[in-house]
Structure 1
Amino acid sequence: IFRLFSVRKNKQNIKTNPNMTTLRPFTCDDMYKFNNVNLDPLTETYGISFYMQYLAHWPEYFQVAESPSGEIMGYIMGKAEGIGENWHGHVTALTVSPDFRRLGLAATLMSFLEDISEKKRAY
């Protein structure tokens, strides 16, 4: 688990403090918490079985960014695939809730997936 940003909502805007957002593995319970992210028209959504397939086969590639209050700010979903020299990490979905954009969360989630892929030699 990584702590990255603290996010506070106030009447005017969202403020950040770089110490308290948590990156953690996606869980089955998160399926009921990420509507704020998936309702964005720029986000591709899938059926529950698709998410569960990724969670079952590539759990280490499925991470969420969570606020101190427990709200899901964004997530990344990926996998490792290919054969031999074509073995590589693949980003299936990367999205951040509109309320939490411009904080560097997508870049942080992407770096996490790159690190996991490196460890698994999926270049």
Structure 2
Amino acid sequence: NLDPLTETYGIPFYLQYLAHWPEYFIVAEAPGGELMGYIMGKAEGSVAREEWHGHVTALSVAPEFRRLGLAAKLMELLEEISERYEESTFQGY
């Protein structure tokens, strides 16, 4: 991870998330290829009850890229993805 406060998970955990919710993995990369930050999440809820929401599992920004609004932008992108996911899930109900 990019900081010691972000929880580190095992490889199987990351692979499970990536297999089920690939659109919920977003990486911010600097022009030189350096990792600036990332967010990972998943969709939770019930189609039957028409309750769905996005869940943030991890959000991390490298110290040298903090105070630039990057975490807010990553959250905004995840929220947009969650809204699109919800709309496509409930279409036709």
Shorter-chain TM band:
0.7 to 0.9
**Number of residue pairs matched by the alignment:** 85
Paired position in structure 2 for 1:65: 28
- TM-score computed with the length of structure 2 as normaliser: 0.84
Measured after TM superposition, the shift of residue 54 of structure 1 is 1.0
Counterpart of 1:27 in structure 2 is: none
Whole-angstrom distance in 2 between the partners of 1:72 and 1:66: 5
Q: Percent identity?
A: 76
Q: Using the alignment, how far apart are the partners of 2:55 and 2:6 within structure 1?
A: 17
Higher normalized contact order (CA 8 Å, seq sep 6+, divided by chain length): 2
Aligned partner letter, 2:14: Y
Q: Distance in 2 between matches of 1:107 and 1:97?
A: 14
Contact 2:6 2:60 in 1 (8 A): yes
- What's the TM-score once normalised by structure 1's chain length? 0.65
8 Å contact from structure 2 (residues 3, 61) kept in 1: no
Say which of 73, 80, 84 aligns to 1:115. Answer: 80
Distance in 1 separating the partners of 2:85 and 2:2: 32
- What residue ranges of structure 1 are gaps of 5+ in the alignment? 1-37
State the alpha-carbon separation in 2 of the partners of residues 39 and 61 from structure 1: 18
Runs of 4+ in 1 over 2 A off after TM superposition: none
Question: What's the Cα RMSD here?
Answer: 1.3
Q: How far apart are the structure 2 equivalents of 1:113 and 1:66?
A: 16
Match of 1:103 in 2: 68
Counterpart CA distance in 2 for 1:99 and 1:92 is 22
